[in-house]
Amino acid sequence: MRKEHQKQEHTSSYYAASVNEITNYPALEGSQSADVCVVGAGFTGVATALTLAERGFSVALVEANRVGWGASGRNGGQLINGIGGLSKIAKKRGSDYANMLWDLKWRGNDIIYDRVEKYGIQCDLKSGFLEVATKPSHVTYFDKYAAEREQHNFPYKYEIWDRETTRANLGTDAFHGGFMCYRDGHLHPLNLCIGEARAAHELGVQIFEQSPVTGIEHGRRPRVTTASGYVEADSVVLAGNAYSLLEPKHLSNLVFPAGSYIIGTEPLSDDVVNEINPKDVAVCDTNEVVDYYRLSADKRLLYGGACNYSGRDPASIRSFILPRMLKVYPQLRNVRIDFEWGGKIGIVLNRIPAVGRINSNVYYCQGYSGHGVNATHVMGEVMADAIGGTMERYDLFADMGHFRLPGSQWVGNQIIALGMLYYKIKDRL
């Protein structure tokens, strides 16, 4: 068993330091039974469990470490529409599915906004996301974004910013323009995940932490086993994403873990905040290998990016990310860095989430390629649909023909890293 799957507490992130609730659900002991057993209590697992509970299913949610331990509790906290690979699905499915795919792009936003209000989840949710052009040629993307929204009668506010407007609102000369969407936004991801888990628990979901799954015994009612117990269920959902090692015969070399890293500054003064982000929006650039940043609720700059596809973590996250932040904001060179952390995101070669099932009743959904906050919530609903017998949205993803790289996962990571090197060079030219 890999080190990441030993029982661990949360990484030393800003999110863990500012969490509303420290979860302490029991470990799985003895025999349990449920309609559905969900493995992994990140966004996919929690969203699936909560959706199923809302629909009347009994659910057991089994987590190797803590709720939100992986990428769901460590990411940049950017709520951005879209699911990786939708353009490829659209090309395969044709124009008849255009409206369904457009709705899917935004469904995660709808779910999150609704649940934050319905369950009173305190996760610092704010509207406003700005995509910024790092090259003059990238500005042309924004006209396409606007045309697409106009075509679909998009009901929420959006704006195209020229270079001067972008400079005035971000306090930097690094960008050539931006596209602002007020339906997208940002939030505290760990508090969202824990809040949704609490809502699921209150609806009857059994949650088990510090319970790494050791295997699955297939059958009419599969048995999900841990070192000290098991859950029998009619259906199983595997939601481990980058950290999953289960079902290697079917899933090995399908999703590859890539490192993603963030630093957090000390709280910034009002003068600095008003200079670099007075509208308090999330920001992400248009590069293939993106940088992204936003302000936390206590006005720290959380800056991330430079995703590492090789499988090797940097010796110092601060040294890895800080130069990128200072290239955008040289005026922050004397600001203290209080937090540095990283984690793994799941990368799929064709960027379409890997969705399917094994032996008719063990479902899996993983590999969001960096689009996790929105996409995981969509997929939680898609998984619940499929278990309830509604397959239309599930079938969009389930037969997209994912390619499994031969050899070890390490070899696969090096192949992906080599491919991404091309995009890094392209970004710099």
Q: Give the residue carrying structure tokens 């959902």.
A: 237
Encoding tokens for residue 373? 């906050």
**∠ CA(299), CA(302), CA(305), 5° rounding?**
160
Q: What is the rounded average pLDDT of the residues 213-220? A: 96
Encoding tokens for residue 86? 């939708």
Counting residues of the chain whose pLDDT is more than 90, the rounded percentage is 74
269 Cα distance to chain centroid: 30
Nearest by Cα to 38 from 185, 238, 176: 238
Q: What is the rounded average pLDDT of the residues 98-119? A: 96
Checking if the pLDDT of 416 tops 70, the result is: no
Which residue ranges form the domains of the chain, and what is each CATH number?
3-74+190-253+349-398 (3.50.50.60), 126-186+256-347+409-429 (3.30.9.10)
pLDDT of residue 4: 41
- 224-258 confidence digits (pLDDT tens): 999 999 999 999 999 987 677 788 777 776 777 88
Nearest by Cα to 38 from 273, 275, 363, 406: 363
Checking if the pLDDT of 100 tops 70, the result is: yes
- 6-42 confidence digits (pLDDT tens): 679 999 999 999 999 999 999 999 999 999 999 999 9
Q: Say if CB 301 and CB 144 are below 8 A apart.
A: no
pLDDT of residue 423: 41
- 294-343 confidence digits (pLDDT tens): 999 999 999 998 777 666 788 899 999 999 999 999 999 999 999 999 98
Mean pLDDT, the chain, as a whole number? Answer: 90
Q: Say if CB 176 and CB 138 are below 8 A apart.
A: yes
Where residue 411 falls among pLDDT bands split at 50, 70, 90?
A: very low
pLDDT of residue 372: 82
